Amino acid sequence: MNFIGQILPVDGYIVSQKETLPVDYAKSLTHLYQPLLGIKAVALYQTLLHDIDLNQEQAPQTHHTLMNYLDLPLDEIFQARLKLEGIGLLKTYKQNWESSDLYTYELQSPFAPSNFFKDAMLSQLLYHHLGDQKFELLKNYYGRQTTPGYGVNITAAFSEVFQTFTPSAEILEVDDNRGAEPKEDTETTDFTWIEQMLKQRMVPHAKVLTTENRRLISQMMVLYELDTHEIDKSLLWALNDENRLDTEEFKTACHDLFKAKNNQKPIRLAKKVDVSETKQISDKPKTKEEILVERLETMSPKQLLEDLSNGNHASEQDMKAIRDVMTTQGLPGPVMNVLIHYVLLQTNMKLSKAYLEKIASHWSRANIQTAKEAMVFAKKEQASFQNAVKRKTAYNKKPVSKEVIPDWFKDRKHKQETQPAANQNVVMTEEQKRIAARLRQYSNGN
């Protein structure tokens, strides 16, 4: 992203704050947030925070003032602002103001030091930035319990005391309370496959997929960019004898998977690269195969089956077969898509689990990781098979007889040869015909 020109020096800004900061917020900013964001972003946060005290009337100031305060060019201030927004310390609103723009910077409360380490993603990131020794020092100092020896919390809940009024979800909901307990964030994670995997292994999924564990799983998937089948492996590894999730073992397993996938690449917070910046535009249009590979790389197996069925829901039997093969062989989603596409073409539009398992085990041993690799591998295997058939046919081909054969005998022999073949043809159902048509559309790039 080009940061220059995103904000102009004459653009105005005002600062607001709705939440009360924790008493030791400065320690959080210095020791916990600064290693992740850098000194410029923390300096911007503190400058905006103290601007509230100076400007009681909330009169707009220009960004030229911030440039003088921080002694930074405006593009670096903009980058620092994005970091604060991404980590959850700032919300930004924009509106027209005279002949320029007016920005409202709403400061969000940082985690208190003791609560910072309850957020799995932030604590893991801090660990990777600071290393084991410094992280343990901070965690032991800030993460210790502030109320030791109090015993078990037996405080009565509202619903246990009162019956005349039931609070609504809107009242009970805490909106972005950064100073309190970490909020839940599992909306973007689909736990259906994980639940099915646990049920298949006779593990009580309700005991494993608690609210806190769901939140932890979601954060680890985002942090380490793991697929569902990879999270499955980490979960099974981290279950103890009582079928409860050991969170530290789970974090370690996720980290080990990440290292294995990324060749020991260190984990760091970095600027997200815009796809439009890195994508090289070619004068030559994409081929049909390239379009197909892109689709198979970006969609899930469930979406592929539903798309091939003209939007109808994928059958439970097909999804179970795919899930079992995918989890057993550890195939990535794009490779599984190519496998589904290939098997449907080879088996008269029927999704045979036995055939899926046979090819999946072969591809797993070949360590195929992308849709492109799977497609190239499948083509080579198909070409080898066809060449073997041709060689076998040529070897078994009988010499041409020079004997004169009557026409009536040729006709009778022709009927005898074609009649059994006609009886052996499998008649395709209407559903299979629709899937075949959809597959042809995929292959043609439509």
Contact call for residues 87 and 36 (beta carbons, < 8 A): yes
Q: Given this model, what pLDDT does residue 323 score?
A: 72
- β-partners of residue 90 are 107
Distance CA 326, CA 329 (A): 6
pLDDT at residue 13 is higher than 60: yes
Q: What is the mean pLDDT of residues 183-198?
A: 67
Domain ranges of the chain: 12-111, 116-144+178-261, 288-397+435-444
Q: Given this model, what pLDDT does residue 90 score?
A: 92
pLDDT at residue 165 is higher than 60: no
Q: What is the mean pLDDT of residues 400-421?
A: 54
Q: What is the mean pLDDT of residues 87-102?
A: 88
pLDDT at residue 444 is higher than 80: no
Phi-psi bin for 243: left (phi > 0), alpha (psi -120 to 50), beta? Answer: left
Tens-place pLDDT, residues 278-293:
455 444 556 777 788 8
DSSP letters for 229-250: HHHHHHHHHHB-TTS-B-HHHH
Distance CA 443, CA 301 (A): 17
CATH architecture label of 12-111: Orthogonal Bundle (1.10)
Q: Is 391 helix (H, G, I), strand (E, B) or coil?
A: helix
Distance CA 116, CA 123 (A): 7
Q: Please state, rounded to an integer, the average pLDDT across all residues of the chain.
A: 76
Indicate the residue type of 38.
G
Task: Answer whether 0.75 is exceeded by the pTM.
Answer: no
Q: Given this model, what pLDDT does residue 411 score?
A: 60
Q: Given this model, what pLDDT does residue 178 score?
A: 43
Q: Given this model, what pLDDT does residue 291 score?
A: 81
Residue whose tokens read 């593990």: 203
Residue 17, H or E segment: strand 12-17
Q: Given this model, what pLDDT does residue 45 score?
A: 94
pLDDT at residue 168 is higher than 50: no
Q: What is the mean pLDDT of residues 135-161?
A: 71
